[in-house]
A and B are shown apart, each in its own frame.
Chain A
Amino acid sequence: MGDKTDVWQGTLALMVLRTLESMGPQHGFGLARRIEQTSGDLLQLNYGTLYPALLKLEQEGFIRSSWGVSENNRRAKFYELTKAGNRQLKRAAAEWEQTTAILARFLTPAEES
Chain B
Amino acid sequence: MRKLRAFALRLRGLLSSRRLDADFAAELESHVALDTESGVRSGLSPAEARRQALIRLGGVEQTRQAHRERRSLPWFETLMQDLRYALRQLILSPGFALSAILTLSLAIGANTAIFSVVNSILRHPAGVDHPERVAVLSTRYSQFTLDFPNVSVPVYALAGGMKNQVEAAAIEAGASFNIQRDGRTEHLDAARVSSQWFQVYGARPILGRVFTAEEDQPNSAPIAVLSYGLWQRAFAGRSDAIGQTMMLDQKPYRVIGVMRSDFAWPRHYELWTPIALPPSAFSPDEAFNENYQATVRLLPGVSIAQFNAALSTRLWEELRRGGGSLYATSSGWSVYSSPLTEFAAGPLRKPLYVLFGVVALILLIASGNVAGLFLARASARSKEFAIRMALGASALRITQQLFIETMLLALAAAGLGVAAGPLFGRLLLLLVPNHLAQGYDVRLEPAVLAFTAGIALLTTVISGLGPALKLLIERKRIRLHESSRGATASLDKQRLRSAFVIGQVALSFLLLSGTGLFLASLQKLQHVDPGFNPSGVVAAKVNFSGDDFKKDQPRQSAFVSGAVEQLAAQPGVLAAAAVSPLVFDPDEGASCSFAIVGRPPGPDDPGPHSQLTFATPNYLKVMQIPLLSGRWIAAADTAATEPVAIVDQRLARKYWPNQSPIGQHISFGCSNKPALVVGVVATVRLSSLEEDTSDGMRYYSFAQGQNVLADFIVRVQGDPNRVVSALRIAIVAADPSQAASSITSLETLVSDSLAGRRLIVLMLAAFAGLALVLAMIGLYALISYLTVNRTNEIGIRMALGAQRFHVVRMLLGNAMSWVAIGLSAGLVLSIVSTVLLRHLFAVFGTGVAASLGVAGVTLFAAAAVACLIPARRAASIDPMKALRTE
Contact = CB atoms under 8 A, between A and B. Distances in A.
Interface class of chain A by DSSP: helix
A77 B70 contact: no
A48 B37 contact: no
Given A49-B58, A60-B5, A74 B37 contact: yes
B70 A52 contact: yes
A28 B27 contact: yes
Contact of B31 (A28, A55, A61): A28
A29 B54 CA distance: 12
Nearest to B37: A72
A61 B2 contact: yes
A47 B34 contact: no
Nearest to A61: B5
Interface string A13-39: 000000000000001111001000000
A59 B59 contact: no
Given A29-B31, A76-B30, A49 B6 contact: no
Interface stretch (B60-68, B203-211, B693-701): B60-68
Contact of B34 (A46, A49, A51, A70): A70
Contacts of A83: none
A90 interface: no
A52 B68 CA distance: 8
Interface string B58-92: 11001100110111000000000000000000000
Interface string B185-199: 000000000000000
B35 interface: yes
A52 B67 contact: yes
Nearest to B33: A74
Contacts of B63: 48-49, 51
Contact of A55 (B5, B30, B71): B71
A51 B66 contact: yes
A17 B360 CA distance: 63
B31 A47 contact: yes
B34 A76 contact: yes
A77 B23 CA distance: 10
Contacts of A60: 2-3, 5-6
A27 to B, nearest CB: 7
B30 A46 contact: no
A8 B10 CA distance: 24
A73 B5 CA distance: 34
B57 interface: yes
B481 interface: no
A74 B31 CA distance: 10
Nearest to A57: B6
B24 A51 contact: yes
Given A59-B5, A59-B9, A61-B2, A48 B59 contact: yes
A28 to B, nearest CB: 5
B66 A49 contact: yes
Nearest to A28: B31
Contacts of B3: 60
Contacts of B71: 55
Nearest to A36: B56
**Highest count of chain B CB atoms <10 Å: which of A47, A61, A75:** A47
Interface string A49-68: 10110011001110000000
Given A49-B58, A51-B63, A56 B6 contact: yes
Nearest to B63: A48
A59 B33 CA distance: 26
B56 A47 contact: yes
Given A56-B6, A59-B10, A60-B6, A51 B67 contact: yes
Given A48-B57, A48-B58, A55-B67, A74 B2 contact: no
A29 B58 CA distance: 13
**Highest count of chain B CB atoms <10 Å: which of A56, A59, A70:** A59
**Highest count of chain A CB atoms <10 Å: which of B10, B28, B30:** B30
B876 to A, nearest CB: 64
B58 to A, nearest CB: 4
A47 B39 CA distance: 15
Nearest to B27: A77
A83 to B, nearest CB: 14
Contacts of B58: 46-49
A27 B59 contact: no
Contacts of B35: 29, 47
Nearest to B23: A77
A26 B567 CA distance: 106
A66 to B, nearest CB: 11
A56 B70 contact: yes
Given A28-B27, A74-B30, A76-B34, A47 B9 contact: no
B728 to A, nearest CB: 80
Contacts of A76: 27, 30-31, 34
A15 B33 CA distance: 24
Interface string B1-39: 011011001100000000000001011101101110110
A44 B66 CA distance: 18
A76 B67 CA distance: 17
A52 B66 contact: yes
Contacts of B30: 27, 29, 70, 74-77
A62 B116 CA distance: 53
Contacts of A70: 30, 34
A76 B37 CA distance: 13
Contacts of A33: 38
Contacts of B2: 60-61
A109 B26 CA distance: 52
B69 A52 contact: yes
Contacts of B67: 51-52, 55
A46 to B, nearest CB: 4
A91 B37 CA distance: 37
A95 to B, nearest CB: 15
A51 B21 CA distance: 13
A76 B28 CA distance: 9
Nearest to A53: B70
Contact of B66 (A48, A61, A74, A75): A48
B481 to A, nearest CB: 45
A72 B33 CA distance: 11
Nearest to B28: A51
B73 to A, nearest CB: 12
Contacts of B9: 59
Nearest to A55: B70
Contacts of B34: 27, 29-30, 70, 74, 76
A48 B53 CA distance: 11
A105 B3 CA distance: 33
A109 to B, nearest CB: 40
B225 to A, nearest CB: 60
A59 B67 CA distance: 12
A47 B5 contact: no
A27 B491 CA distance: 67
A61 to B, nearest CB: 6
Contacts of B37: 72, 74
A41 B853 CA distance: 93
Nearest to A71: B34
Nearest to B62: A48
A72 B56 CA distance: 21
Interface string B591-619: 00000000000000000000000000000
A28 B10 CA distance: 21
B183 to A, nearest CB: 76
A51 B35 CA distance: 15
What 7 A-B pairs come out closest when comparing CB atoms?
A: A48-B63, A48-B58, A59-B6, A52-B70, A46-B58, A29-B34, A59-B9
14 contacts: A27-B34, A28-B31, A47-B31, A48-B58, A48-B59, A48-B66, A49-B58, A51-B27, A51-B63, A52-B66, A52-B67, A56-B70, A72-B37, A76-B27
Given A51-B27, A51-B28, A59-B70, 7 more contacts: A47-B57, A51-B63, A51-B66, A59-B10, A60-B3, A74-B37, A77-B27
Interface of B: 2-3, 5-6, 9-10, 24, 26-28, 30-31, 33-35, 37-38, 56-59, 62-63, 66-67, 69-71
